[in-house]
Amino acid sequence: MTESQAAKKPILLSGIQPSGHLALGNYVGAMRNWVNLQQDYLGIFIVVDLHAITVRQKPADLRKRCLSFAAQYLAAGIDPAENIIFIQSHVPQHAELSWVLNCYTYMGELNRMTQFKDKSQRHQDNINAGLYTYPALMAADILLYQADLVPVGADQKQHLELTRDIANRFNHTYSPTFKIPEPFIPQAGARIMSLQEPDKKMSKSDSNENNYIALLDPPDVLRRKIKRAVTDSAREITPESVNNAGIGNLLTIYSVLNDQTLAAVADQFAGQQYSVLKGELADSLVGFLEPFQQRYDQIMGEQGYLSSILDEGAQRARYMASRTLSKVYRKIGFVAPGRNR
């Protein structure tokens, strides 16, 4: 795609933190929609490593994971010729705009963020300022590119609303500067639940790996995790099963993978034992993830190719981001560098 063709399309933007193992919840809630929507948009897909260090990461693991996540974006079906894929720390404007936006974000707003509350409970030994101001960095990610649509899971709705509030506040204080982004939260699968604790969301950094399906789990592990997924003590599926945390979650995953409605799936399995659904779900997962993993292995075997995509992505991103950032600096009243030369 030429720059002028790309410039005409609206912008789709999203990111995932390179922490833990990319999981089925991330695919169903976010990546699947990136792939489905990419035709009509210029997609900007970011591996948000600056966000990941709000929780301690081992340097060698973080380095590997950033490349692995980018390869998984491609393996999921993001077309690198038509979209921009890059690593957040390669584009310094994210950190720069986030400082500015921190000064237009109220502590009262940040205090309400449930992700901050959750994560500070999980990491009580490291409740750092970055974890707290994280939404301003996320707002910078989105606003730098004048994004139109941001496909995310339901847990990010609150951060998206804050992004819109910050953008509106800045636009009203100065003059229109930022596009106000719309969230895209899928009807089905916006909140995939943990397999062992189905009252909380599936999370790729869960300390119990039986709680999530990693996109790179081998078939025997996939089958084992599904088999052990927690359900209730009833054994048979009924139309009401969709409202049950554990079995409802499995039905939801099956419906999304097979492009069926939840009601149709509940109908299809009505009267069957839970074990039948688990068996069929495991087959669907293996059928979906095996080709994904083959594409992933191939991409990881071509490191030069992956690096060239990320380098080109970062270069295009820096150009787009620098235009927004200079506008912001000018409106605030910062002196342009080299003004008297």
Q: Among all residues, which ones are annotated catalytic?
A: 119, 201, 204
Q: What is the DSSP string of 43-70?
A: EEEEE-HHHHTTS---HHHHHHHHHHHH
Q: Is 186 helix (H, G, I), strand (E, B) or coil?
A: coil
Mention every residue, 6+ apart, whose C-beta is less than 8 A from residue 247.
231, 232, 237, 241, 274, 277
Among 205, 258, 260, 268, binds ligand ATP (CB under 6 A): 205
- Which CB, 115 or 171, lies closer to ligand ATP? 115
> Minimal distance in Å, beta carbon 102 to ligand ATP?
20
> Minimal distance in Å, beta carbon 122 to ligand LTN?
13
CB atoms within 10 A of CB 65: 22
- C-alpha 309/C-alpha 333 separation (Å) is 36
Q: Does 255 help bind ligand ATP (rule: CB under 6 A)?
A: no
- C-alpha 216/C-alpha 230 separation (Å) is 22
DSSP state of 192: P
The amino acid at residue 176 is P
> Minimal distance in Å, beta carbon 181 to ligand ATP?
13
Contact positions with ligand ATP (CB under 6 A) in 58-77: none
Binding at 191: pick from ligand LTN, ligand ATP, none (beta carbon under 5-8 Å per type):
ligand ATP
Encoding tokens for residue 158? 């609150």
Q: By beta-carbon distance, which residue lies closest to ligand ATP?
A: 29
Contact positions with ligand ATP (CB under 6 A) in 140-159: 152-153, 155-156
Say if CB 55 and CB 205 are below 8 A apart: yes
Binding at 246: pick from ligand LTN, ligand ATP, none (beta carbon under 5-8 Å per type):
none
> Minimal distance in Å, beta carbon 313 to ligand ATP?
18
Among 44, 142, 281, 282, binds ligand LTN (CB under 6 A): 142
The Cα diameter of the chain in Å comes to 80
Q: Which residues bind ligand LTN (CB under 6 A)?
A: 13-15, 17, 48, 51, 138, 141-142, 150, 152, 156, 159
